[in-house]
Amino acid sequence: MKLGIPARLFLAVLVACALVVVANGLMARFLFERTFMGYLNDQGVARMHEVLPRLAAGYREHGSWDFARGNLDAWRAMMRSNATRNAPPGTRVPPVSDQTGAVPRFALFDVDGVHVMGNPEAGPDAVRLPVTVDGRTVGWLAMIPFQQAIASGDVRFYQAQVRGWWTNGIISVLIAAGLAWMLSKALLNRVGGLAGAIHRLATGDYAVRISSTDRDELGQLAHDVNRLADTLEHTERSRRGFMADISHELRTPLAVLRAELEAIQDGIRPMTPATLAPLQGEVQQLGKLIDDLYELSVTQVGEVSYQFAPLDLDELAQSIVAGMRPRFADAGLALQALPAVPPTRVRGDERRLLQLLANLLENALRYTDRGGQVVVRVLGGEARVQLVIEDSAPGVDAEGRGRLFERFYRVESSRNRASGGSGLGLAICRNIVQAHGGEISAEASALGGLRIVIDLPEAAA
């Protein structure tokens, strides 16, 4: 069975806590046996070194261990601590080794390993130190390790500690299991909401939004999902509007072509240059629309390979103005380029910037009333370069200026194709400017018409 994320999280936390408890218990036992018991054994060994000289002296005095066999008083006398032996009566404090029962774990063996006195349970695992007289080993003093004494004595304290360790461990695991379950449920609710919203987005429901006030990673993810939904919803509206606009733009010339061709086929209209001229005009309009659609697609930011290089924007403007001045004169318009205010160098694609300038001037030529004027100027600023194109009447209202750079938008409500283009020129200009890291905006001109401002970053020196 495939487990979900909450179940896996629950099991992971539970297993981790169980492992921590087991490791803690094993480490506590290790430290108790090796550290605490080692300390007690070290105290006992130190006491053995204190006793050895008295054992050697007793053997030297009697010549054998017979004096100590069964002689409890002699054994006690030799085992007595120096601290209690020399202290005044009433102030004798036994050393740590006596308080932890080291002496009862002592045993004396002769040189042949025969038990003489002391604890008879001292075996091969006991700590042994030689008793030497005049450089000759005459016997062995042995001590049972503290851990063996506990095992043999069935000390309740040690067993209680072990039971306490494991009881504490089980309780800790149960508490961790409860916390892990609550955490997994809370996580399931939040992740489930995110998963449901993303699934609805995947099925095309772009109106879905996630309500979240948390500031953690899941809250940020919910915020990002909402932003994605906003973007997808806007993109879908734009796509539908774009398809509707294209359908409208294509339907009009196709309807004219169909009507004209049917009239010629039915003999209503003769096939003469006069009747074919409107058809040629509609075909040219369709070709212009297709070209503009292509330019719009390839000038999208990141969709075309721009060849960036340092350029003088004023020189480009002067060259475009010089080339288009005769056409403006034929239309009864005055086209002038004012002196530039340096710096005027930008980093851009020369071909695309020339296309940008040509589109803007073409737009001014098409819509400016006869007898008016168009002014072009390049202005330098702090790390920015501005290109300003102004024309005279007619002007554009505030609502129209805000929509000038939308696809297929025309200021005239009739959408008259005779006076306007496809409505894509300014959208293409916006794409080119954005690809250069700049901004384009439309304002009211002091000349009575429109003022287009293009703001580009200055080229690095």
Is the distance from CB of 229 to CB of 245 less than 8 angstroms? no
Q: What is the pLDDT of residue 418?
A: 44
Is the distance from CB of 253 to CB of 282 less than 8 angstroms? yes
Asked which of 65-74, 232-241, 274-283, 410-419 is least confident by mean pLDDT, the reply is 410-419
pLDDT band at 265 (very low <50, low <70, confident <90, very high): confident
pLDDT tens digit string along 281-332?
Answer: 778 767 767 776 776 666 665 545 678 899 999 999 999 998 899 999 999 9
Q: What is the pLDDT of residue 248?
A: 65
The answer on pLDDT for 238 being more than 80 is no
Strands 334-337 and 373-380: parallel
Burial class (CB in 10 A: 0-12, 13-18, 19+), 58: buried
Give the domain ranges of the chain: 5-88+95-153, 217-298, 309-457
pLDDT tens digit string along 188-216?
Answer: 777 778 888 888 888 888 888 888 777 77
Q: Which secondary-structure segment (H or E) carries 143? A: strand 136-143
Name the class of domain 309-457: alpha beta
Distance in angstroms (rounded) separating the CA atoms of residues 437 and 225: 27
Distance in angstroms (rounded) separating the CA atoms of residues 254 and 26: 87
pLDDT band at 414 (very low <50, low <70, confident <90, very high): very low
Burial class (CB in 10 A: 0-12, 13-18, 19+), 66: exposed
Q: Specify the CATH number of the domain 5-88+95-153.
A: 3.30.450
The answer on pLDDT for 132 being more than 70 is yes
Give backbone dihedrals phi and psi of 48, rounded to 5 degrees, phi first. Answer: -60, -45
Q: Please, what's the b/e burial string for 316-330 (b: 16 or more CB within 10 A of its CB; e: otherwise)? A: bbeebbeebbeebee
Q: What is the pLDDT of residue 34?
A: 64
pLDDT band at 96 (very low <50, low <70, confident <90, very high): low
The neighbouring-strand residues paired with 457 are: 384
DSSP state of 452: E
Asked which of 167-171, 397-401, 409-413, 441-445 is least confident by mean pLDDT, the reply is 409-413
Query: In the CATH hierarchy, which fold is given to the domain comprising 217-298?
Result: Helix Hairpins (1.10.287)
Asked which of 309-323, 363-377, 408-422 is least confident by mean pLDDT, the reply is 408-422
The answer on pLDDT for 101 being more than 80 is no
Is the distance from CB of 51 to CB of 141 less than 8 angstroms? yes
Dihedral (CA of 172, 174, 176, 179) sign = negative
Give backbone dihedrals phi and psi of 450, rounded to 5 degrees, phi first. Answer: -115, 145
Q: What is the pLDDT of residue 153?
A: 45
Q: What is the pLDDT of residue 90?
A: 52
**Per-residue tokens: 37:** 């018991």
pLDDT band at 129 (very low <50, low <70, confident <90, very high): very high
